[in-house]
A and B are shown apart, each in its own frame.
Chain A
Amino acid sequence: MKKLLSVLLAAVMMLSTFTACGGGSAETETESGEKVLFIGGSGPLTGDYATYGTSVKNGATLAMEEINAKGGTNGYTLKVVVEDDQADPQQAVQAYATLMDDGMDVSLGGTTSGACIAITEEVKKDGLLMLTPSGSQLECTQYDNCFRVCFEDSNQGLYAADFIKDNNVGTKVAILYEKSNDYSNGLKESFVAQSAVNGLEIVCEEAFTDQSNTDFSVQLQAVKNSGADLLFLPLYAQEAAYVITQAASMELNVTFFGCDGLDGILEKIGEENKALTNGVMLLTPFAADSATEPTASFTKAYTAKYGATPDQFAADAYDAVYAIVAAFEKAGVEPETEGFNEAMVKAMTEIEVVGTTGTMTWTPEGEPDKNATAVVIKDGAYVAFQ
């Protein structure tokens, strides 16, 4: 009989802890009477794409600390939380729900496009402002309250094709892209479309997938045989680093041309191969080695804090937090009050932010208006293209 009683008691205890779990999460609003502006986002902090999410988290956290050190914004202390979503739409929505339970005021959306698109659906229902640092697919800003910091994929391919044609960087163009990656696909498609418009000659299109992203000898041989003088690489830095090293061993003489994904290549390719990156061109709004402000001080602070050079993702997230704060100051409405979300969304289209990825304004469609500058790598440093 005693045993039965103890088991029953244990069961009751477990039940009570569970119910406490369920209801006890919506009370973090005023910790010690402080007024808090809560910015929440998600990104892959574990799994295959962990570097992107970690960069976003670091960049956003750095911005938060800087702003709070200066005394916050409008009397509010900033709170930035980036949850783990493993780049999975399902987990992204769950992370978003957790943040909403905790009283999120503004969303940073998702880091990767797929996760971000899943979040836009939730954001639409809740009406709050979403500013994704790095969701680059078209649908990431499909609703009125969704904005982004990075370029949309198709714009980048278009800029790149025009830039190559206008500046005569190459005449016969080869493309090597990752078929299983949406970013790479999007860039490639818009690049090819724009080439047809402006008459850029594409002599070779080679593809690989995430299952075969270390050995490119077959594709590079095809590029070599096609007689191309420029190889367009709509890739991320890791794959591009493999391509450039393997191309060198095959004595492939082409100009490498990439977009913002290539940022971080100097680090990925390693010290001993740095010479190979001489002459690699990037069309990117962010270059970590830039001497202009605020990029220079951002890079310095980031390197000091995290011991790594910031990449595109970190810079976008850093800018996103500053942009949200700018919108918050412009709107001048208290969080959690009637009309806060609407005022924030309206303010987003009225602000101008001088960020690490350029001077930005936003269109009502949610796209940033900023310049992509071309840089060339010379002796392990980024130099503006002349």
Chain B
Amino acid sequence: MKSFFNKFSGLKKSARSNMITLALCLAAFGFVTAMVATGNASRHMKSLLVPICINIILTVSLNLVIGFLGELSLGHAGFMSVGAYAACLFSIAFEETLPVMVRFPLAMLIGGIAGGLFGLLVGIPVLRLKGDYLAIVTLAFGEILRSIIINLEFTGGASGLKGMPQDSTFNWGFIAVVITLFVVMNLVDSRHGRAIMAIRENAIAASAVGININRYKLMVFTVAAFFAGVAGALYGHNYSIMTAGTFDYNKSIEILVMVVLGGMGNIRGSIISAVLITVLPEMLRGLADYRMLIYAVVLIAMMLLGTSEKFMMLRYRLAPKRLIKRALQERQNRKDEKEARKYG
């Protein structure tokens, strides 16, 4: 055990932080699974598990674009819809021939590839753009996709796609979350990740030191869109109907809200805020008519507090790491004092 701790503290700071994030996720998964297994989870809580996984994947992947590359993309729901439709159409076609254990991972993979392909497709023309312009183009792209889906026959048109097998479970969702975290964290920590962040800090300087900006932008877009597609596949297989209207720009904005609330470039924050924003409107059901109003007020309050300096100071003072450190320090001081008195 001691050697594990020694090894752990010997790791890079970012690697340590990543391990903590994964461990927290595993603990949460274990806790929830135990609750469900012992019958302590309400039906309402169980119905939220898969949506939570979906939102975590969406938030973490969008954070890659917004937080690490520093570009504002509002088309994440569009990539999600491509993945969702591709995966669901695949599942409907192979419902009889393939068992779930083969079909669903394949469906998620297909959803991811379809999303990634569109990410690449959109990425190429928008490479020239940045900032507000990129945001507008990606927003338009999402709306174009939605219109196309509504007008196509095989997607079910306006009335939606129906009849997909209900394959999404919390376990599958959790596996997808872990893979997403693993890939995104490792990408961020790698040489590529440092290049991506260099582009965010100063694109001209980055290209001056030989970083291929276009290549990295495309890479980020594709990876983010891939995971959006996986999230879409999870979403599509969770309900018996899927309409294009779900994937409008409001959905993209909702994901953006989760990213901003969790902190740009902060993966653990993204996870926490995704859970919070998914659960919050459902926890407020008791308020009936005021639900959406209070939800909005709470969102505003969280955003204000999250950026307020005083609150950040308070949070810093109350951070568990610091509290423990201080407590240990105090103990050490007292010990030292005692020692000093003994010999003094």
Q: Which residues of A contact B (CB under 8 A)?
A: 1, 3-4, 7, 21-23, 25-26, 45-47, 83-84, 88-90, 93-98, 100-101, 113-114, 117-118, 120-121, 137, 139, 179-182, 185-186, 209
Interchain CB contact (< 8 A) of B42 among A47, A101, A209: A101
B240/A182 in contact, CB under 8 A:
no
Can you report 28 A-B residue pairs in the complex whose CB atoms are below 8 A from each other? A4-B324, A7-B318, A7-B320, A7-B323, A21-B283, A22-B40, A22-B41, A22-B45, A25-B44, A26-B42, A83-B285, A84-B291, A90-B51, A90-B239, A94-B44, A97-B44, A97-B46, A100-B43, A113-B159, A114-B160, A118-B239, A121-B239, A139-B240, A179-B151, A182-B157, A185-B158, A185-B159, A209-B150
**Contact residues in A for B246 (Cβ distance below 8 Å):** 88-90
Question: Which chain B residues in 242-300 approach chain A with CB under 8 Å?
Answer: 242-243, 245-246, 282-283, 285, 288-289, 291-292
| Cβ of B330 under 8 Å from chain A | yes
A185/B44 in contact, CB under 8 A:
no
Once A4-B324, A22-B40, A179-B150 are accepted as A-B contacts, the answer to whether A117 and B162 lie under 8 Å apart by CB is yes
Once A25-B42, A88-B246, A94-B48 are accepted as A-B contacts, the answer to whether A46 and B291 lie under 8 Å apart by CB is yes
**Contact residues in B for A98 (Cβ distance below 8 Å):** 43-44, 282, 285
B330/A180 in contact, CB under 8 A:
no
**Contact residues in B for A137 (Cβ distance below 8 Å):** 159
Interchain CB contact (< 8 A) of B241 among A118, A179, A180: A118
A139/B47 in contact, CB under 8 A:
no
Contacts A94-B47, A120-B240 known; 10 new A-B pairs at CB < 8 A:
A3-B318, A7-B323, A89-B240, A89-B246, A94-B44, A94-B51, A97-B44, A121-B166, A182-B160, A186-B159
B243 CB to closest chain A CB (Å) equals 5
Judged by DSSP, the binding face of B is helix
**Contact residues in A for B46 (Cβ distance below 8 Å):** 97
Nearest to B35 among chain A residues (CB) is A22
How far is B285's CA from A46's CA once the two chains are assembled, in angstroms? 12
Once A46-B292, A88-B246 are accepted as A-B contacts, the answer to whether A101 and B43 lie under 8 Å apart by CB is yes
Nearest to A102 among chain B residues (CB) is B44
B201 CB to closest chain A CB (Å) equals 36
A22/B42 in contact, CB under 8 A:
yes
| Cβ of B101 under 8 Å from chain A | no
| Cβ of B327 under 8 Å from chain A | yes
**Contact residues in B for A100 (Cβ distance below 8 Å):** 43-44
Most chain A CB within a 10 A radius of its CB, from B40, B46, B158, B320: B158
Q: Across chains A and B, which 10 residue pairs bring their CB atoms closest together, nearest first? A: A182-B159, A97-B47, A121-B240, A117-B241, A97-B43, A97-B44, A89-B239, A46-B292, A118-B239, A98-B44
Nearest to A50 among chain B residues (CB) is B292
How far is B326's CA from A3's CA once the two chains are assembled, in angstroms? 10
Nearest to B40 among chain A residues (CB) is A23
**Contact residues in B for A180 (Cβ distance below 8 Å):** 150, 158, 245
How far is B160's CA from A246's CA once the two chains are assembled, in angstroms? 31
**Contact residues in B for A101 (Cβ distance below 8 Å):** 42-44
**Contact residues in B for A121 (Cβ distance below 8 Å):** 166, 239-240
A185/B157 in contact, CB under 8 A:
yes
**Contact residues in B for A90 (Cβ distance below 8 Å):** 51, 235, 238-239, 246
B265 CB to closest chain A CB (Å) equals 27
B282/A94 in contact, CB under 8 A:
yes
Q: Scoring B residues 165 to 176 as 1 if CB is less than 8 Å from chain A, else 0, what string do you get?
A: 010000000000
Most chain B CB within a 10 A radius of its CB, from A21, A97, A137: A97
Nearest to B45 among chain A residues (CB) is A22
How far is B52's CA from A94's CA once the two chains are assembled, in angstroms? 12
A289 CB to closest chain B CB (Å) equals 30
